Copies of this chain bind each other. A is one copy, B any other.
């Protein structure tokens, strides 16, 4: 087991200007592990209800995702319903039913505790901290979050950020978290809290990596059509950490490439609803798109 991801597995109902799908496979841990599964072995920690369709379990197993950490409990699976306008940058929530996710109490199976890489997807920062305490102390840990926790649990979030290796955020979340419009200032503040690096995800504008003495700007892939942005951030994280875990080397050279692999996986994710596009992806397609990123940034 190279990576453990802790997050949500959900059934999403999504409407965009390009279509409408009900109760499809979603959730942060799902999108992350699918993307990462193209690079390395991932163990998934999440909770679903007894109503969770068996076909989704089979699908994840077929992709090589280890599900020993997936709790199946009495009750209904987490459901999210939302829509996007033509500006696909912002998700509008219509309904959130946390269901069994409300009392999610992650417990890492014994062999998961030895995994060298850990992704703490967007959940309550207090839970993220509890997971961090179960993992091996030298695990390379990356956290994500969302505005909900920035507003409701800023102190817990700061405590978490202090303790992880890398921090991922949307640019708007970083600005809110740090109380400044400047991303450079936000990056400084976050790096001062402890992490070695912070990555700002900017959707259609790409991603920015900030380290103590270094900065890297990755563009977004110029996409023909964006069908559904749900899960783009987690697919980014999956490509990013999947590549790094497989390389087994967290030097800056690899970190930069990992940002590009993250961007590649996010770009595929948004080409279909839910997991549709990534489910039919091939290693060759990933490599080809990585090379296109080289072409579009070369001068």
Contacts and interface: CB of A to CB of B under 8 A. Distances in A.
Interface of A: 86-88, 181-184, 202, 204-206, 208, 215-220, 222-225, 253, 256-257, 259-260, 293-299
Main secondary structure of the interface of A (DSSP, over half): mixed
B296 A217 contact: yes
A183 B88 CA distance: 13
Given A181-B87, A299-B256, A299-B260, A206 B219 contact: yes
Given A184-B222, A224-B184, A299 B257 contact: yes
A259 B217 contact: no
A206 B217 contact: yes
B256 A298 contact: yes
B206 A222 contact: no
A204 B182 CA distance: 10
Contacts of A218: 299
Nearest to A259: B299
B222 A215 contact: yes
A256 B219 CA distance: 15
A17 to B, nearest CB: 9
Nearest to A258: B299
B217 A297 contact: yes
The 6 A-B pairs with the shortest beta carbon distances in the complex, nearest first, are: A217-B219, A256-B299, A205-B205, A86-B181, A215-B296, A217-B296
Given A217-B220, A297-B299, 15 more contacts: A86-B181, A183-B204, A184-B222, A202-B205, A206-B219, A208-B222, A215-B222, A215-B295, A216-B296, A217-B297, A218-B299, A256-B298, A256-B299, A257-B299, A297-B297
Contacts of A294: 299
Contacts of A299: 216, 218, 253, 256-257, 259-260, 293-294, 297
A295 B216 CA distance: 8
A208 B206 CA distance: 12
28 contacts: A86-B181, A87-B181, A88-B181, A183-B204, A184-B222, A205-B206, A206-B217, A206-B219, A208-B219, A208-B222, A215-B222, A215-B295, A215-B296, A216-B297, A216-B298, A216-B299, A217-B222, A217-B296, A217-B297, A218-B299, A219-B219, A253-B299, A256-B299, A257-B299, A259-B299, A260-B299, A294-B299, A297-B299
Nearest to A205: B205
A292 to B, nearest CB: 9
A297 B78 CA distance: 40
A214 B90 CA distance: 29
Nearest to A217: B219
Contacts of A259: 299
Contacts of A223: 184
A225 B215 CA distance: 16
Nearest to A216: B296
